[in-house]
Amino acid sequence: MWVNAEAVPRFYPNVVTLQSNKSAAAEQREAIDILVKSNLPGRWSVKDSFRTLDLSRQGFEPLFEARWIRNAMPAAGPSSDIVWQRETNGAAGLPFGDPDFALFTGRRGFRVVAGGMLYRAEGVVGLSNVVADAPDARAVWRSLALLAAQTFPRLPLVGYESGDELKAASDAGFEVGDKLRIWVRSKD
């Protein structure tokens, strides 16, 4: 598992499970119990990557459930009038100087209408924070897959989504995989 015992940027978990066997689950529960007893401020969360933990007894509530998605080969189209740009600076806290990070925004004229973040790690590219209006969603997902392939060649693209975003990713050619759950806890 991956653990950050400090405050993290908004929408990022403090714990991410990386294995789903019984011994890993026991270790994960121990680490989470330590964090529960710590002075970690405010709301914090656990990404249960395999949906195998029940953290309700530790004061967590399910924030949402999602499905893993994967796109190994980008597909062409559908065409769109959205113009994409890789951002090189912006909000504090984003790692713009990190060569493994890329934030793309899509514009119509001067108006930002879409976006997504890419992060290369461990032989994959993670896609997160995808923003798209419903009529553009399929084209946005495909465009981000192509941008990922251009920015980080020959690596599979992975992420997780739920609801309308999951449907848009699936419609754009992403494979839908196993379930996961995000748990959230507020400091009493």
Bridge partners of residue 71, in order along the sequence: 157
Q: Which fold has domain 70-176?
A: Aminopeptidase (3.40.630)
pLDDT given for residue 92 in this prediction: 67
- Is pTM beyond 0.85? Reply is no
The residue-averaged pLDDT of 162-171 equals 93
Q: What is the mean pLDDT of the chain?
A: 90
Residues 30-52 have pLDDT tens digits of 999 999 988 788 889 999 999 99
pLDDT given for residue 6 in this prediction: 86
**165 pLDDT above the threshold of 70:** yes
**135 pLDDT above the threshold of 70:** yes
- C-alpha dihedral sign at 62, 11, 59, 52: positive
The CB density around residue 121, as the number of other CB atoms within 10 Å, is: 10
Residue ranges of domains in the chain:
2-67+180-186, 70-176
DSSP 174: P
The rounded distance, in Å, linking the Cα atoms of 6 and 13 is 11
pLDDT given for residue 74 in this prediction: 62
